[in-house]
Amino acid sequence: MSTWHQRLGVFDLETTGIDVESARIVTAHVGLLDETGEVLHRRDWLIDPQVEIPAEATAVHGITTDRAREHGMDAARAVAAIVAQLRSLFDRGIPVVAYNAPYDFTLLDREARRHSVAPLVSPGPIIDPLVIDKAVDKYRRGKRTLTVTATHYGVDLLAAHDAGADAIAAGRVAQALARIHAEALALEAAELHRRQVDWCREQAADFQEYMRRERDPGFTTSGAWPIR
């Protein structure tokens, strides 16, 4: 039996956009779950991203530019605090769950460099329920958004696109995966991290092949995980 799911860090960002090179963090959550999925500790940030928050982003997470400017934390201090919280979890050997980890960890890496904060170097172990779900249930039809996947695994997600709600739900999805696919995921956290590197690369290659065959002969995508 594996033990990686018994105590999990959880991490999520809500941002100004989808491009990890230019998007800024608006809200963030880093928490800690026990073996039942109960929250042991949490930190939440509302941040002034120092740029306008596009209406499309506000429509997703509900944070306006005015609200972020009035109530948000200084971006450099917030990024430093987020990195420090994650580094503390990794230093204690606690795996950190992030759904679609390359988005959150790559964007945090770029924000750290933007604000002259020492970034996380080779962070891990990381648990990405999106990558794992695709690996252990490859042929399931339908979308694999966090909302859909949480429903599939019987996890409540009552406030999608709230960083705290998303992070906690992703952690509970990871724990559900560990229970339901116990044999396939009976690995130490470090080994599961390494497997996800391979799984993500294979999944990206399959997706790229599909897109080139069906839609765009020049389509490319990255399979790098967990930072691109």
Q: Is the pLDDT of residue 136 over 80?
A: yes
pLDDT digits (tens, 9 = 90+) for 99-135: 999 999 999 999 999 999 999 999 999 999 999 999 9
Tell me if 157 is assigned to some domain.
yes
Greatest CA span in the chain, whole angstroms?
A: 50
Residue 1 is predicted with a pLDDT of 63
Q: CATH number of the domain at 35, please.
A: 3.30.420.10
Task: Tell me how many domains the chain contains.
Answer: 1
Tell me if 224 is assigned to some domain.
no
Range of the domain at 27: 8-188
Tell me if 144 is assigned to some domain.
yes
Pairing verdict, β 8-15 and 25-33: antiparallel
pLDDT digits (tens, 9 = 90+) for 204-228: 999 999 999 999 999 999 999 999 9
User: Span 162-185, mean pLDDT?
Assistant: 97
Q: From CA 185, how far away is CA 63, in angstroms rounded?
A: 37
CA distances from 60 to 63, 71, 162 (A): 8, 19, 9
Q: Which residue has the tokens 């924000």?
A: 111
Give the other-Cβ count within 10 Å of 75's Cβ: 22
Residue 159 is predicted with a pLDDT of 87
pLDDT digits (tens, 9 = 90+) for 43-101: 999 999 999 999 999 999 999 999 999 999 999 999 999 999 999 999 999 999 999 99
Residue 2 is predicted with a pLDDT of 79
Taking phi first (over 0 means left), then psi (-120 to 50 degrees means alpha), and beta for anything else, what does residue 153 get? alpha
Tell me if 223 is assigned to some domain.
no
Tell me if 202 is assigned to some domain.
no
Tell me if 198 is assigned to some domain.
no
Tell me if 216 is assigned to some domain.
no
Tell me if 209 is assigned to some domain.
no
- Look at the pTM and tell me if it is higher than 0.85: yes
